Structure 1
């Protein structure tokens, strides 16, 4: 457990929530309670938003990896009810918690919005992928902590600016981001969690990745398109070993071995949780730490 997460999640002064307000969100407008005490969060990035504000939800969507939480948030999730994956929320469990506010995402939960709204006031962010900062501000507003949320983002922006300055000429490297899964390989572009952070830092990207899209879904025949001055790659494996096996096969492929970044020894395996799956502010801070360590920055 990296110590700064616990500090960041507990050091925010918990000022009282503002007066009741009408929140405009992806599914319309919702009157939120003055001081919500029993908050349910239905996305992984939303869970990290709440934790960074010092809020422990009563229920949350399961982490995509972990049992049921990612290692880096597990110490902060004691007593939280797992509610199923983001796209498989157990509505009966949500209702049983008697929440006074539900936070979800239209991309995941549009079809159950009416049912969620019948349980408690429900606020929906619009998209996932690269929108974690937009969503963060909405969640902070919904829980009556817009100012505190802005302070958290400003502190994060300061970390980004400091790391960017320290990276200096390294930012000219065209950085390639690759994700291996059991059935496909993804070449990540700008509208992705890691893509947004790399852009904020000022890194260059290979031309095929330097577009405002999410990702290209390809096979091993497209490995030549994965090259860059430096490659970061990560693997999604749900525990059955298929993702790890697919990664091993790809890395052993002669096409991969012939990439210029591979031949130069500028390839780094990083955490799928941190660089992609968790998708929130705590993971973003960990990704900054990873980059600093890889580039030898204190």
Structure 2
């Protein structure tokens, strides 16, 4: 990484300076005040949820962080990302590729990119969101402000809220269920709580959660010994696969365990495997809408 920094610092900065329009606006992000161009034309976005945000706002980025398990994009955004250049995973951004794209605006995240912020801001004005969990609307509105597309953002949020309201009405008495959300990742099981992507959506809809999940926190990180704590009236589970098969292996091991088989939701046939990308990892507005459709389908309401 140090070699990359030296190379980037050796690059002339004139391209970045020329590509930034003279007219600019000041906005406040997770790091302070940033002067952004009035009408950015070449946007690079460095998070999966940010990519969904700009697409939903009608902007195709010139470059974006690779989808975590995409090739290079998640299947549900591949068509929309035609022409965009991948610039590395969120946690391993390629600064040379970003500089070569000559962006006039970069959308990044403090949690992921604070250490490389000096290099990013040397390329183009960089707006940083703060968190990568919980309520996607916070980052969505920040990115919209940076793009000068606040009106489009509010329309998109209103459409999402209307879809939530419609699904809530259709679900009716099903909302009395306590729904449990479980994720298998290599070496770890997570019991998701309210301050997670899926947790926010389920709360928006109005579902109840088991007591250990009805907490304003992110997740309980645990192992097979906590299988009894994963129960609910219904269980949604998903698996992150890092490419070595360990996530899937853990999932298979847990689902075959007698403790899992004895859970009330399992015995009642109310467990559902869902997409890790849609229910967790993509993390943006497009995935949120697809998750609503998943729930409608799983409850026989689509």
Task: Describe the SS at the equivalent of 1:211.
Answer: coil
Counterpart of 1:178 in structure 2 is 182
Question: Unmatched 5+ residue regions in structure 2?
Answer: 1-22
Question: Does residue 130 of structure 1 match 2:155?
Answer: no
Give 1:78 deviation, angstroms.
1.3
- Of residues 37, 43, 65, the one that matches 2:41 is 37
Question: Does residue 212 of structure 1 match 2:212?
Answer: no
Question: Does residue 196 of structure 1 match 2:194?
Answer: no
Q: Distance in 2 between matches of 1:267 and 1:167?
A: 17
Give 1:131 deviation, angstroms.
3.1
Q: Distance in 1 between matches of 2:208 and 2:70?
A: 33
Question: Does residue 166 of structure 1 match 2:202?
Answer: no
Question: Unmatched 5+ residue regions in structure 1?
Answer: 1-18
Instruction: Decide which structure has the larger Cα Rg and report it.
Output: 2
Could you list the runs of 4 or more consecutive aligned residues of structure 1 that deviate by over 3 angstroms after TM superposition? none
Counterpart of 2:12 in structure 1 is none
Q: Verify the 8 A CA contact 2:24 2:38 in the aligned structure 1.
A: yes
- Please show how residues 144-163 of structure 1 align to structure 2 within 5 Å: 144-163=148-167
Q: Distance in 1 between matches of 2:295 and 2:33?
A: 39
Aligned residues: 280
- Of residues 195, 220, 237, the one that matches 2:241 is 237
Q: Distance in 2 between matches of 1:61 and 1:77?
A: 11
Q: Verify the 8 A CA contact 2:186 2:242 in the aligned structure 1.
A: no
Task: Describe the SS at the equivalent of 2:172.
Answer: helix
Question: Does residue 267 of structure 1 match 2:256?
Answer: no
Task: Describe the SS at the equivalent of 1:194.
Answer: helix
Note the aligned Cα RMSD (angstroms).
0.8
Q: Distance in 2 between matches of 1:253 and 1:221?
A: 11
Counterpart of 2:251 in structure 1 is 247
Q: Distance in 2 between matches of 1:177 and 1:77?
A: 30
TM-score, length-normalised on structure 1? 0.93
TM-score, length-normalised on structure 2? 0.91
- Please show how residues 53-72 of structure 1 align to structure 2 within 5 Å: 53-72=57-76
Task: Describe the SS at the equivalent of 1:285.
Answer: helix
- Please show how residues 115-126 of structure 1 align to structure 2 within 5 Å: 115-126=119-130
Question: Does residue 97 of structure 1 match 2:101?
Answer: yes
Q: Verify the 8 A CA contact 2:129 2:142 in the aligned structure 1.
A: yes
Counterpart of 1:139 in structure 2 is 143
